[in-house]
Amino acid sequence: MVLQVLHALHLLRPFLVTPGFYTFVEFIKIVFRQKDFMENPSSVTYRKIIHIDMDAFYASVEQRDNPELRGKPLAVGGSPEGRGGVVATASYEARKFGVRSAMPSKQAKQLCPEVIFVRPRFAVYKEVSQGIREIFSRYTDLIEPLSLDEAYLDVTQDKQNIGSAIEIAKLIKQAIKEELQLTASAGVSINKFVAKIASDMNKPDGLTFIGPSAIEAFMEELPVEKFFGVGKVTADKMKKMGLFTGADLKGLPEEEMIKHFGKAGRFYYLIARGIDDREVQPNRETKSIGAEDTFAYDLTEIDEMYIELDKIAQTVCNRLQHYQLKGRTITLKIKYSDFKQITRNQSLTEPVNDFKTITDIAKKLLLATDPESKRIRLLGVTLSNFGEMAARQKQTDHPDQLLLF
């Protein structure tokens, strides 16, 4: 206590020596802030962030609307008979067998022969999505949707003066259950990163709170692949360096992190310490949607490249349909074995989101680069130039890529 008072006096020093009314007002404000901080640290320093994510979203909507599907293993996505059919999501009953998002439908059928395949109904998911957003908006306008089924909410100041983020998360979950007959999971914390991890911890129908004092221990135990922005390639690199958990990441100084992981290194450095200052950004515009893959071995044959491009184009196509978006510009990204990277793009007069057009143009762009002359380690396809606003934007070779799903 004595130390805290000394600390407060130290902070107040500039105001103690400078006279004037303004200074006096500031002085009083700071005294109250310090008092408040000591009695109730969360009231001053911390933001209140909720991350909400619907449980087995597409599958739950299908089970809600068709009672015959309830309690059964279900996969929403392309049929296992056709070529290239992929699972968008699976009901929890099907997940017990190992059926997962992005898995070829054929494989899902092998893992779980009883699995029922249902075609997605994007228009219905969009409507439900609007429903959950309307529920969120009863508590705050600071809503940042990440996809149809999830969003960040900043409830540091909520519209109904409830004050408790945990209470708000409960009320939101309750409203989603009663009004939409669906379940959601919520994570509550002081920043986006921890809130998002928390929402995934007790699915389905979970509510997980990770308070300031628990963050440090929580981050230390977190496996590196759970860190925001760490994909398979970065995770493998980290593991080769002996970095498996947040505690291991914390062991590296900032310069080392930047040396090994570039700009992202600084973010990992901070996040390993539980620091994430990213604000909840309402109305963030989606500028592009894409997918890319780094291969286990470098590609040298055009046939292999075409097979990979088909898969990537299919993922892009699913994502575009998920967001009900069409784009006019198709961009192909190629990274060679020496890590040099090029992009090529083509713009169309009409926006598209169908698999055939996307994959055909990607292949044409690839063919024009003399692809078999160099070893290729990564291919990516991105669509941009959505709608009116985007069409007027200057085209670039490096469209802003949003992280999706």
Tokens representing residue 372 in the block: 């078999």
Closest to 1 (Cα-Cα) out of 39, 32, 28, 43: 39
144 part of the interface to ligand TTP, by CB under 6 A: no
295 part of the interface to ligand TTP, by CB under 6 A: no
Distance CA 72, CA 190 (A): 37
> Which of the listed partners (Mg ion, ligand TTP, none) does 269 bind, with a CB threshold of 5 to 8 Å by partner kind?
none
376 part of the interface to ligand TTP, by CB under 6 A: no
DSSP assignment string, 52-109: EEETTHHHHHHHHH-GGGTTS-EEEES-SSSTT-BEEEE-HHHHTTT--TT-BHHHHH
Note if 150 is an active site residue: yes
355 part of the interface to ligand TTP, by CB under 6 A: no
Closest to 312 (Cα-Cα) out of 366, 380, 369: 380
54 part of the interface to ligand TTP, by CB under 6 A: yes
151 part of the interface to ligand TTP, by CB under 6 A: no
Question: Shortest distance, CB of residue 53 to Mg ion, whole angstroms?
Answer: 4
Residue owning tokens 């994909």: 231
- Bin 163: left if φ > 0, else alpha if -120 < ψ < 50, else beta: left
HSE of 91 in the Cβ direction (CA atoms, 13 Å)?
22
**Which amino acid is present at 58?**
Y
Site residue total, ligand TTP (CB under 6 A):
18
Cβ-based nearer residue to ligand TTP, 101 or 369: 101
Cβ-based nearer residue to Mg ion, 89 or 385: 89
Spatial contact of 185 and 207, defined as CB atoms under 8 Å apart: yes
Member of 208, 286, 318, 359 binding ligand TTP (CB under 6 A):
318
Member of 48, 322, 363, 377 binding ligand TTP (CB under 6 A):
322
What crossing angle do the helices spanning 212-221 and 192-199 adopt, rounded to 10°?
70
In sign, the C-alpha dihedral spanning 260, 266, 268, 270 is: positive
| Stretch of 47-55, 172-180, 249-257, 339-347 contacting ligand TTP, by CB under 6 A | 47-55
> Which of the listed partners (Mg ion, ligand TTP, none) does 88 bind, with a CB threshold of 5 to 8 Å by partner kind?
ligand TTP
122 part of the interface to ligand TTP, by CB under 6 A: no
| Stretch of 31-39, 56-64, 296-304, 385-393 contacting ligand TTP, by CB under 6 A | 56-64
Question: Shortest distance, CB of residue 88 to ligand TTP, whole angstroms?
Answer: 3
57 part of the interface to ligand TTP, by CB under 6 A: yes
Tokens representing residue 298 in the block: 């470098």
Residues that bind Mg ion (CB under 5 A): 53-54, 57, 149-150
> Which of the listed partners (Mg ion, ligand TTP, none) does 101 bind, with a CB threshold of 5 to 8 Å by partner kind?
ligand TTP
| Stretch of 3-11, 20-28, 142-150, 279-287 contacting ligand TTP, by CB under 6 A | 142-150
Distance CA 226, CA 205 (A): 21
Rounded alpha-carbon distances, angstroms, from residue 124 to 57, 181, 221, 248? 11, 14, 39, 44
**Which amino acid is present at 286?**
T
Question: Shortest distance, CB of residue 137 to ligand TTP, whole angstroms?
Answer: 20
Considering only residues 61-100, where is the footprint of ligand TTP by CB under 6 A? 88-89
- Of 26, 150, 216, 256, catalytic: 150
Q: What are phi and psi of 331, to 5 degrees?
A: -115, 130
101 part of the interface to ligand TTP, by CB under 6 A: yes
> Which of the listed partners (Mg ion, ligand TTP, none) does 318 bind, with a CB threshold of 5 to 8 Å by partner kind?
ligand TTP
x/- mask, ligand TTP, residues 166-205, rule CB under 6 A, reads -------------------------------------xx-
β-sheet with 74-77: strand ranges across: 87-90, 74-77, 116-118
- At residue 262, the 3 state secondary structure works out as coil
152 part of the interface to ligand TTP, by CB under 6 A: no
Member of 53, 62, 276, 292 binding ligand TTP (CB under 6 A):
53
> Which residues does 369 contact at the CB level (< 8 Å), separation at least 6?
334, 342, 344
> Annotated catalytic sites, by residue?
150
Binding residues (CB under 6 A) for ligand TTP: these are 53-58, 88-89, 101-102, 147, 149-150, 203-204, 318, 322, 405
